[in-house]
Amino acid sequence: MRIAQAVVEALSGLLLGAVVVIILVQVIARYVLEIAISWPEESARYALVWLTFIAAAAAAARASEISVDSLTEMAPRAVRHGLHLLAAVGGLVAFGFLIWASLPLFGFPARTLSPATRIPMGWVYLALPVGAALAVLFLSARLVRLVNRGPADAKAGGEPPAAGTQA
């Protein structure tokens, strides 16, 4: 699981770097060279779509999704453990729904070509089920850890660190 987490985090970093470089190319072309090129804006948008879903999986791997910590911090240890279990199950349901909701995108819409880069839109749409499936993988591993740990083993600080992180 640590290797998968490292790959997802590295891919997130590469995608972020790609977005920055692509936008920099567009800015230089437009304002320095005074030429208009169409592919950078579209490419940056599609890289950002991929970055969003891959980074969501990376957040799930680190157990660092957006959350309201004040509720879990005030709760007793056993309740806190239940809240962490509920959050993991809720994440699994949400990402499972995203995978299911993305299925219609792979019919006719996937065969259309993007206007500037002429790549099949299926490659862009693939970001949703890939990112969601990776998040499901990481959330499932977290759920197994939480179930095996039980409320009696819960640390006062809440959920244990994700695989590959320091305590």
Task: Compute the distance between CA of residue 53 and CA of residue 59 in angstroms, rounded to an integer.
Answer: 10
Residue 17 within a domain: yes
CA atoms within 13 A on the CB side of 56: 20
Residue 159 within a domain: no
Residue 133 within a domain: yes
The whole-number pLDDT of residue 59 equals 94
Listing DSSP states for 131-151 in one string gives HHHHHHHHHHHHHHHHHHHTG
The whole-number pLDDT of residue 157 equals 41
Residue 39 within a domain: yes
pLDDT beneath 50: ranges in the chain = 156-158, 160-167
pLDDT digit string, tens, across residues 155-165: 544 454 444 44
> Which residues form the domain of 71?
2-153
The whole-number pLDDT of residue 67 equals 74
Query: Which position has the token pair 């809720």?
Result: 90
The whole-number pLDDT of residue 153 equals 55
Q: How many domains, in total, are found in the chain?
A: 1
Residue 166 within a domain: no
Task: Compute the distance between CA of residue 83 and CA of residue 118 in angstroms, rounded to an integer.
Answer: 46
Residue 81 within a domain: yes
Residue 158 within a domain: no
